Amino acid sequence: NQDNQKMILPVDGLTVYFPYSHIYPEQYHYMLELKKSIDARGHCILEMPTGTGKTITSLSLITSYQLAHPEVGKLIYCTRTVPEMEKVLEELKVLVAARKKEIPGENPKMLGIGLSSRKNMCVNEKVKESALPEANSGNKNSRSAVDAKCRNLTASWVRTAAATNKNIELCDYFERYEKMDSDTIMPLGVYTLEDIREFGKAKGWCPYFLARRMIQFANVVVYNYQYLLDPKISKLISTELDKESIIVFDEAHNIDNICTEALSVHINNTILESCQRNVIALSNKIRRMKETDASRLNDEYKRLLQGLTQSGAIAGGEEMLSNPILPENILQ
């Protein structure tokens, strides 16, 4: 019918699937400029007023371009906040549902994944409870508390130790995730953070690590700026992404602040005091190790002298045994 026909737009030779029956002229011009940039494998800065449908316009054009030109790789859509991320994924759901109706007898392969922090994706109640005191007090470090607790349950050295010590606690969701087949892929579709949490919980798999793995197979990945811009995070998350990808920074005027924050170190009195205590503890441990090692080395030296003297291998061993102390420079 006429409404359905309006969902298919010719944009400079490209068939674009648009999920609504009406499109603003500004949206169409936005698509034209965006297609020119992708054709040229270049960069562009596009601006539209708030409320004019930038998100669905860019998603419609780029996913249609992917359908016609698979070689362009995946779409990496970067947002600043979790609500913005969820909004993009919901729009993508609407778009994919409309696109399926417009391609009779064909099921377009689409896997859209959102990825956020452990705090937003964890389903382990014990881990989430670890952040409650900070969250209830309004402390922004609740995310760090979840991260720390998660690492204490999933780190490789912890899991190695747990193999011989049953008293060491592990995360059941992560353990089951580790046992899943390496070629396992989530069913096609678009998954919001809540969708991934529910899917992971139903399967007994960790949603956070599952999402990290699935971004390798996804056509569209939606995550925070830091996952691409922060070197500490991007080398863990984004190094395996396709080099040929389309990158979108939503609300890109925030990029300079994000980059500044990513490369900044915040130090306060609490951190300095903690560092001082750790340095003192390390110094004391090194001193005790030196004292222990010096005693053990002297004992070994004495036994060696006794053996050599008794065997007649050295002369004057009795005099050396009377004062069997290694020189200070050797002990150091």
State the average pLDDT over residues 267-289.
89
Over residues 90-146, the pLDDT tens digits come to 999 999 988 888 776 556 688 999 999 888 999 998 888 876 655 555 555 667 788
From 74, 3, 60, 75, select the one nearest 28 (Cα to Cα): 60
State the average pLDDT over residues 306-324.
60
263: left (phi over 0), alpha (psi -120 to 50) or beta: alpha
Q: SS in 3 state form for 177-195?
A: HHHCCCCCCCCCEEECHHH
Tokens 């912890």 — which residue?
158
Distances from the Cα of 45 to the Cαs of 34, 42, 226, 253, 265, in angstroms? Answer: 9, 11, 20, 10, 30
Collapsing DSSP to helix, strand or coil, 126 comes out as helix
Comparing 183 with 85, the larger pLDDT belongs to 85
Comparing 12 with 2, the larger pLDDT belongs to 12
State the average pLDDT over residues 260-281.
88
Distances from the Cα of 254 to the Cαs of 117, 145, 225, 306, 313, in angstroms? Answer: 19, 26, 9, 74, 78
Distance CA 287, CA 280 (A): 11
State the average pLDDT over residues 147-151.
87
State the average pLDDT over residues 299-311.
72
State the average pLDDT over residues 182-211.
91
Over residues 294-304, the pLDDT tens digits come to 777 777 777 77
Comparing 327 with 234, the larger pLDDT belongs to 234
- pLDDT grade for 84, boundaries at 50, 70 and 90: very high
Rg (CA), the chain: 30
First to last CA, the chain: 88
